[in-house]
Amino acid sequence: MTTSGATRTSSSVWSLAACRRRLIRLLAAPIALLFPPACVRCGRSVPLGQIICTSCLPSFDDTEGPCCLVCGDRVEDASLDLCLRCGVRPQSFERLIALGSYDDAWGDLVRTLKFERETAVGRWLAGRMADRVSDDVESSGEPFDWITFVPMSAGERRDRGFNQSRLLARLVARRLRLPYRRSLRKIRRTRRQSSLPARERRRNLQGAYRSVTSRTGRVLLVDDIFTTGSTANACAQALREAGCESVTVLVVARA
């Protein structure tokens, strides 16, 4: 029988973790009585461990019509594979995977995660994102090699104190059992994209992202929202310059 210090330390760590799990289970019931879990969208009561009620769940169904195969924008003519923008201006990323529209229920959850830091919402969204990626890989037969996220600059990170894209990427990677890597760095602070027109958004992010190290393979780049594609293109360009074979963008919502 081994009696090394390393074994005693490992046993102690395991014991502490087990105690923590038991304590959480013991506290869950009284906390639920004092603060009953509620749907994050409408406020109705939900079972412990859930965040969306049965009435709101249909709001998250995929109701998209014909879409561009690259950016996911809706197209009027179902016979068209690309929207006008992607047909005229090639994108640095291969394609976009989005759960739905920012104008719908998905936008409510993005705002809750982003501004209220509801990590339970992040876990739920990550589960849906992972399911969507699994379906995509099954239909295309082209798996991804690793996952990364859209970073913030040091100043932006200090101001917000929270990067929702990083949280989503880490949770999705865990569910898909893929390597999770911090592969990009934002080297300078930029103006808020939402306050700028499309042309200025591209200029605002030009040269803002750098790859941390050389990478190869097919990468899944995670962000919360896709609007004009300026952020996705800037990050994808940096990843491809670092050696990535292809970049697919995964977001919660497309604005």
Q: Which domains does the chain have, with CATH numbers?
A: 68-254 (3.40.50)
Q: What is the pLDDT of residues 70-102, one digit of tens each?
A: 998 888 888 888 998 898 888 999 999 999 999
Q: Rounded to two decimals, what is the model's pTM?
A: 0.82
| H/E segment holding residue 100 | strand 95-101
The residue type at 18:
A
Check residues 66 and 183 and name the one with the higher pLDDT: 183
Decide: 164 and 122 in contact? Cβ < 8 Å: yes
Q: What is the pLDDT of residues 225-234, one digit of tens each?
A: 999 899 999 9
Closest among 57, 56, 75 to 66, alpha carbons compared: 75
> Using 50, 70 and 90 to split pLDDT, how confident is the model at 32?
very low
Cα–Cα dist 142/246, whole Å: 11
Decide: 122 and 174 in contact? Cβ < 8 Å: no
| H/E segment holding residue 185 | strand 184-186
